[in-house]
Amino acid sequence: MRTRKALVVRGGWQGHDPAGCTDLFTPRLEQDGFDVHVREDLSVYEDAELLAATDLIVHSWSGGELSPRQESGLVAAVEAGTGFAGWHGGVIGTNVKNASYLRMVGGRFLWHPEGFQKFTVRLTSSPGRDGEITEGIRDYDVVTEHYWVMTDALNTVLATSVLEPTGGPWAEPVEFPVVWTRRWGAGRVFVCTLGHRVADLELPQTATIVDRGLRWAART
């Protein structure tokens, strides 16, 4: 039986602690039998042979920009069946000039209120497909950055939150996705907007969702 391979690509802005956050999940992947490789440079996306042999890419790189070759290599791998997953700014606060990347991921961070906010992560009552990622988890509160994101209708939304108007230019509460899945070609994409710091990802409900999301993207 072939050993499943995971590629963790991390770096960029260190305020999101890409090493600390990804280190929470790499041991769990290894325990599940994955051969995990960590790379701290985006040039790995130029290695078509490596990407083709990879079952799961975990991307944690806030800010920055992919070169045309890196972007095309990554997107082609996902379209061919490699799973792709990530959280917070490491996956939707990055590569904002890379249109093909953004279409593949299905969302982009736009803004958040200053500081940490307390809000409720609301699990979708009838998520339909991919509901196994959040099965058994009830609504729960978090205190962290509350992301305003732009997404599209191709996503399967598994959890949401509501951003209340607090003197801003919007007059009514706005609901945003917190967790979603997406099909892109033959590949699976998983995104969680939580994860500003290690403590956010250590929260049991969030840790379970991300754990399951990584495995879902890798088809395990």
Domain boundaries, the chain: 5-217
Q: What is the pLDDT of residue 127?
A: 66
Q: What is the pLDDT of residue 162?
A: 94
- For 106, left (φ over 0), alpha (ψ -120 to 50), or beta? left
Q: What is the pLDDT of residue 209?
A: 98
pLDDT more than 90, % of the chain: 84
CA distances 220 to 44, 48, 105, 113, Å, are 24, 23, 20, 37
For 52-62, how does the pLDDT look when each residue is reduced to its tens digit (9 = 90+)? 999 999 999 99
For the chain, give the longest Cα–Cα distance. Answer: 58
Q: What is the pLDDT of residue 56?
A: 99
Rg (the chain; Cα; Å): 16
Is 114's pLDDT higher than 90?
no
Is 71's pLDDT higher than 70?
yes
Q: What is the mean pLDDT of the chain?
A: 94
Q: What is the pLDDT of residue 2?
A: 82
Is 18's pLDDT higher than 80?
yes
145, exposed or middle or buried, with CB in 10 Å at 0-12, 13-18, 19+?
buried
Instruction: Report whether CATH 3.40.50.2000 matches the domain 5-217.
Output: no
Q: What is the pLDDT of residue 15?
A: 86
Q: What is the pLDDT of residue 125?
A: 74
Q: In angstroms, rounded to a whole number, what is the distance separating the alpha carbons of residues 189 and 184?
A: 7
Instruction: Classify residue 137 by its DSSP letter.
Output: P
Is 185's pLDDT higher than 80?
yes
Q: pTM of the predicted model, to two decimals?
A: 0.96
Q: Which of 93-102, 113-122, 160-169 has the highest mean pLDDT?
A: 93-102
For 119-171, how does the pLDDT look when each residue is reduced to its tens digit (9 = 90+)? 999 999 766 789 999 999 999 999 998 988 999 999 999 999 998 887 778 88
For 24-58, how does the pLDDT look when each residue is reduced to its tens digit (9 = 90+)? 999 999 999 999 999 999 999 999 999 999 999 99
Bigger pLDDT: 133 vs 114 = 133
